Amino acid sequence: MPDNSLVKGPLPLSCVMCQEGSKMVLLVTGLCSEDCYYCPLSLEKQGKRVTYANEKPVEKDEDVLNEAKSISARGTGMTGGDPLLEMDKAVHYIRLLKGEFGERHNIHLYTSTTDPKKLVRLAGAGLDEIRFHPPADVWDRLGDTGFVTAITDARHLGLRTGIEVPAIPGHETQIAALLRSVIEAGAQFINLNELEFSESNWKELKNRGYAVKDDVSSAVAGSEETALNIIRSVDSKVTVHYCSSSFKDATQLRKRLLRRAKNSATPLDIINHEGMFIKGVIECGSPESLARKLAREYKIPKGLIRYDREKSRVELAAWILEEIYDQVEGEAFIVEEYPTADRLEVERRPLGPLDVRVIK
């Protein structure tokens, strides 16, 4: 597998879809009953009653469906927080997505909840796969918790069943004990994620002595080695999969962005190899009137220039702006931004005497 990921056994279909960028990420809620020190969820979502489809805040069902369509999603990963803390909402979204896209729309869900009644509701709604998240403090005593029974119950309900946990350096013994317990309980796959620093967990990780593995990564030093050692030591037919931080960024996210960019690009957008939009931007005092003036004076086709009301600026094809920038009022830039709902800008290059690259 690319980007240092490794798998022993066949990958679950849901992981295959993630690899190709065809899974929508649906954060059902930021609420969670656990308090895992390594949780990477952002501060704007952690512990909050919010819903996001990929990067888009959800206010109505159409937001979820439109986001899935924007990436030609073949499936959805439902996450949190813990989706089962808002059970009715989780069931509603499963039925919504299956109703719109059909039974072949593969849905998997992450949870730390082991309530058997909730598992029955999920199976009845049409969930395909469940991934349990046992917190680290129970990994070596899973038999004392409800996870063993929950894994068995989920299998009996027809759900593809596995676990997903971070590969925490120094916890090899606990992870090995966890794997023995879940394999015996009937888990069909085990996912080990590379532990990462985030805005919400960095203090806790730092206080425990963890550090980043290099200057260009947020991954924790030693996490990858921990995962690979565990996988190589497992003697089982159960799939064990290590998913690296670089794989999520360089492959999974990039392919999802490319799918979205191809579906949402306008004639003025250039799509680069990372799935970002490249466009020309003019910032000035009266962008709406300037857009009309430029379109008229330079005979720019309607699809290649527009007034962006949201960001109060003129947007036009980069190749056109590079030809006329020295003849227009305002500041001109070539901008690179995400093709996502938040349109996060990652780079802008001023056009003019100070034609230098500025990284944000």
* Mean predicted lDDT score pLDDT of the chain: 94
Q: Give the pLDDT band of residue 249 (cuts 50, 70, 90).
A: confident
Quote the pLDDT of residue 355. 43
Q: Are 44 and 198 in contact, with CB atoms under 8 Å apart?
A: no
Which of 255, 273, 276 is closest to 265 using CA atoms?
276
CA distance 290 to 219: 46
Quote the pLDDT of residue 3. 58
CA distance 173 to 230: 9
- Exposure of 326 by Cβ count < 10 A (0-12 exposed, 13-18 middle, 19+ buried)? exposed
Quote the pLDDT of residue 353. 52
Q: pLDDT for 194-229, tens place per residue?
A: 999 999 999 999 999 999 998 888 999 999 999 999
**In whole angstroms, how far apart are CA 302 and each of 278, 295, 298?**
18, 7, 11
Chain centroid to Cα 94, Å, comes to 18
Residue 236 has pLDDT above 90, yes or no: no
Residue 252 has pLDDT above 90, yes or no: no
Q: Which domains does the chain have, with CATH numbers?
A: 6-261 (3.20.20.70), 265-359 (no CATH)
